[in-house]
């Protein structure tokens, strides 16, 4: 059955959670206007049609990858021209084998056994055994979006017609994604030198063995899942087709794409949290002056400072009058380093995220396998053994992203610590406690929860990419450990969500506690909207209450990206 016969648009389930709801509390600032809700009986808008993605090995975009990893509606197909090139390379590869060339993974065994020849009658059975022997991964599964994107990335690499596989293999892989069948891929096993163990699990699903796959919320052996989805339960591989599935960095890249997406929405919401912090502490606006940022000559820093100015536009709290309301009768001169340098620190993360998109798009449209097959000038084809599967560049880029995301999380924690101190916050009640202070302990323990996550983040931000060790009888004597790097990054982004949630919750509490003192003065346009959105989820803290639910609800609000929407609506989406 061809892809054209099977290709049906299927709305992939969104990985994004809905924003939590709670009764909105009365806020000491003018609330932002509420969104209009359709009245009863009005038909809901139809879902958007599936986005069409054509794989040709050369033009898969970051936007396409984000749609897939987020679970948005996508339909995929193989470009006909790429299919013709693939078939030509396949035919040429088989002729080269028939002429006597010995080729790794085709008619020679693997790894330390690379010198063991395979008879022609063994080559197809060898493909099955490659997948079975390599599928030794353990641990929790990667997200469904990452698993689907890994299939698409390997299919797109095959579409470059340098791996010698049949077009039918790519069509089979895309048919799984289009039908909503997702391989269950374990996280642990890869050393970053190719995605051998995790992608072998995906290969067992592609071929229809016992490995688990998910479909419509149910997990079952692949052959049963495929049949239930209307696909052929079995798809035997032919000579040379196992390595292109498991070689390269398909899953590593998919997990990197997901991390880039997550880090982007966290950084954007940090901008909102920092703007709210400036309001709560009535900070000096001079640190956002365009002239000083222009002099640093870092474009992302200039743009980020402009976004902060947009969020704070119209603020009367961050003025001499606002500061006098809480007893400041002399100039502050300048705020602490965490305040003045925040645009530079956050912009460094933004710049890394921008560079990451370049790395991902290049990797997604590259030949990342071993061996590769190339046409010769005389019209024939030849195999070349190389190291294009190695994940060093992505591994080191992941380590850098982890370090910088952790640094912004540390900054968020430092800002939240300032909010607890009457001196450091320029007059906010100690511990952000509601009167009577002392009887009420306020938010000190919520902030401590965030503090407890910081050393965990700092420990996991150590670069795994420098921890190579020789394995497999010395045949693989340098390993990038990139999968360990990306696991650490995702773990840290989980923690970052809570650290940021605590800062946002404390920002809103600080604003509420001095709302009466600031009567008649307005917050900035963006900060008022952010405060209002937070108060739709968590009510102000008056008498002490059980705090865990508040932290959890705020973390879910951060994860829902609702505050990112507010920031981008006011400051404009980042270009």
pLDDT beyond 80 at 481: no
Report phi then psi at 420, rounded to 5: -75, -25
Instruction: Report in angstroms the alpha-carbon separations of 114 from 99, 383, 551.
Output: 20, 15, 54
User: Of all residues in the chain, what percent carry a pLDDT higher than 70?
Assistant: 89
Environment class of 437 (CB within 10 Å of its CB; exposed 0-12, middle 13-18, buried 19+):
middle
Q: Give the per-residue pLDDT at 474.
A: 56
pLDDT digits (tens, 9 = 90+) for 525-555: 999 999 999 999 999 999 999 999 999 999 9
Q: Give the per-residue pLDDT at 37.
A: 38
Q: Give the per-residue pLDDT at 480.
A: 78
Mean confidence (pLDDT) of the chain: 88
- Tokens 């699990």 locate to 201
At residue 472 the predicted structure's pLDDT band, cuts being 50, 70 and 90, is low
Q: Give the per-residue pLDDT at 115.
A: 72
* Pairing of the two strands 74-78 and 51-55: parallel
Instruction: Report in angstroms the alpha-carbon separations of 569 from 265, 268, 288, 557.
Output: 14, 12, 20, 17
Report phi then psi at 233, rounded to 5: -65, -25
List CB contacts of 152: < 8 A, sequence separation 6 or more: 53, 55, 60, 65, 68, 76, 173, 174, 177
Report phi then psi at 156, rounded to 5: -65, -40
The count of C-alpha atoms lying within 13 angstroms of the C-alpha of 285, restricted to the half-sphere facing its C-beta, is: 19
Contact 326, 282 (CB under 8 A): yes
Higher pLDDT, 378 or 570: 570
User: Of all residues in the chain, what percent carry a pLDDT higher than 90?
Assistant: 73
pLDDT beyond 80 at 517: yes
Q: Give the per-residue pLDDT at 78.
A: 98
Instruction: Determine the Cα–Cα distance for residues 438 and 420; give it in Å rounded to an integer.
Output: 13
pLDDT beyond 80 at 42: no
Contact 291, 301 (CB under 8 A): no
Q: Give the per-residue pLDDT at 330.
A: 84
- DSSP, res 341: S
Task: Summarize the confidence of residues 173-202 as an average pLDDT.
Answer: 92
At residue 113 the predicted structure's pLDDT band, cuts being 50, 70 and 90, is confident
Q: Quick one: tokens of 403?
A: 């370090």
User: In this structure, which topology does domain 51-249 adopt according to CATH?
Assistant: Fumarase C; Chain B, domain 1 (1.10.275)
pLDDT beyond 60 at 5: no
Instruction: Determine the Cα–Cα distance for residues 298 and 288; give it in Å rounded to an integer.
Output: 14
Which CATH number applies to 256-367+391-571? 1.20.200.10
Instruction: Determine the Cα–Cα distance for residues 293 and 282; give it in Å rounded to an integer.
Output: 21
pLDDT digits (tens, 9 = 90+) for 496-507: 999 999 999 999
Report phi then psi at 139, rounded to 5: 90, -175
Q: Give the per-residue pLDDT at 151.
A: 98
pLDDT beyond 60 at 407: yes
Sign of CA dihedral 470, 471, 473, 477: negative
Instruction: Determine the Cα–Cα distance for residues 407 and 87; give it in Å rounded to an integer.
Output: 49
pLDDT beyond 50 at 570: yes
pLDDT beyond 50 at 349: yes
H/E/C letters for each residue in 124-164?
Answer: HHHHHHHHHHHCCCEEEECCHHHHHHHHHHHHHHHCCCCCC
Instruction: Determine the Cα–Cα distance for residues 203 and 361; give it in Å rounded to an integer.
Output: 24
Least confident stretch, 138-147, 294-303, 381-390, 480-489: 381-390
* Residue closest to 147 by CA, chosen among 305, 12, 49: 12
Q: Is 390 helix (H, G, I), strand (E, B) or coil?
A: strand
pLDDT digits (tens, 9 = 90+) for 29-41: 333 333 333 344 4
At residue 313 the predicted structure's pLDDT band, cuts being 50, 70 and 90, is very high
Instruction: Determine the Cα–Cα distance for residues 287 and 276; give it in Å rounded to an integer.
Output: 15
Fold match, 51-249 / 256-367+391-571: no
Environment class of 185 (CB within 10 Å of its CB; exposed 0-12, middle 13-18, buried 19+):
buried
Task: Summarize the confidence of residues 343-348 as an average pLDDT.
Answer: 96
**Segments making up each domain of the chain, as ranges:** 51-249, 256-367+391-571
Start-to-end Cα distance in the chain:
42
pLDDT digits (tens, 9 = 90+) for 8-28: 333 333 333 333 333 333 333
């Amino acid at each position: 059955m061809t892809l054209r016969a099977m290709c049906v648009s299927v709305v992939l389930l969104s990985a994004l959670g809905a924003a939590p709801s709670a009764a909105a509390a009365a806020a000491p600032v003018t609330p932002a206007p509420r969104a209009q809700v359709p009245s009863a009986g009005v038909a809901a808008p139809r879902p958007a049609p599936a986005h069409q993605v054509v794989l040709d090995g050369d033009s898969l975009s970051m936007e396409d990858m984000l749609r897939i990893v987020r679970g948005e509606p996508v339909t995929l197909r193989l470009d006909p021209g790429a299919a013709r090139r693939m078939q030509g390379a396949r035919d040429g590869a088989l002729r080269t084998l028939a002429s006597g060339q010995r080729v790794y993974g085709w008619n020679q065994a693997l790894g330390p056994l690379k010198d063991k020849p395979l008879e022609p009658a063994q080559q197809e059975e060898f493909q099955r055994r490659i997948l079975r022997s390599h599928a030794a991964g353990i641990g929790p599964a990667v997200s469904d979006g990452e698993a689907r994107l890994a299939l698409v990335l390997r299919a797109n690499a095959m579409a470059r017609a340098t791996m010698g596989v049949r077009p039918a293999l790519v069509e089979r892989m895309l048919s799984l994604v289009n039908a909503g069948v997702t391989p269950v891929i374990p996280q642990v096993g890869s050393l970053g030198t190719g995605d051998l163990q995790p992608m072998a699990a995906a290969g067992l699903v592609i071929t229809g063995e016992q490995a688990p796959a998910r479909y419509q919320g149910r997990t079952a052996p692949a052959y049963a899942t495929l049949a239930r989805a209307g696909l052929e339960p079995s798809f035997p591989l032919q000579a040379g087709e196992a390595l292109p599935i498991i070689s390269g960095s398909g899953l590593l890249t998919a997990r990197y794409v997901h991390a880039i997406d997550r880090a982007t929405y966290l950084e954007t919401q940090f901008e909102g949290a920092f703007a709210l912090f400036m309001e709560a502490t009535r900070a000096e606006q001079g640190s956002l002056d365009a002239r000083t940022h222009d002099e640093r000559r870092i474009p992302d820093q200039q743009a980020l400072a402009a976004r902060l100015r947009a969020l704070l536009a119209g603020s009367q709290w961050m003025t001499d009058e606002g500061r006098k309301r809480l007893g400041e009768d002399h100039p502050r001169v300048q705020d602490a380093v965490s305040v003045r340098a925040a645009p530079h620190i956050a912009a460094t993360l933004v710049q890394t995220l921008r560079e990451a998109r370049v790395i991902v798009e290049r990797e997604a449209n590259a030949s990342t396998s071993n061996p590769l097959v190339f046409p010769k000038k005389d019209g024939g084809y030849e195999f070349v053994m190389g190291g294009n599967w190695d994940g060093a560049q992505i591994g080191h880029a992941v380590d850098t992203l982890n370090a910088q995301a952790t640094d912004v999380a540390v900054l968020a924690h430092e800002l939240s610590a300032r909010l607890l101190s009457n001196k450091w916050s320029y007059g906010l009640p100690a511990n952000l406690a509601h009167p009577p202070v002392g009887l009420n302990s306020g938010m000190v323990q919520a902030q401590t929860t965030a503090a407890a996550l910081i050393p965990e983040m700092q420990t996991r931000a150590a670069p795994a990419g420098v921890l190579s060790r020789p394995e497999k009888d010395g045949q693989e004597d340098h390993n990038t450990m990139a999968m360990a790097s990306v696991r650490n990054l995702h773990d840290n982004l989980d923690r970052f969500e809570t650290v940021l949630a605590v800062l946002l919750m404390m920002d809103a509490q600080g604003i509420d506690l001095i709302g009466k003192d600031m009567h008649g003065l307005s917050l900035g346009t963006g900060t008022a909207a952010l405060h209002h959105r937070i108060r739709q989820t968590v009510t102000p803290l008056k008498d002490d209450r059980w705090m865990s639910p508040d932290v959890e609800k705020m973390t879910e609000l951060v994860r829902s990206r609702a505050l990112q929407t507010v920031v981008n609506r006011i400051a404009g989406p980042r270009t």
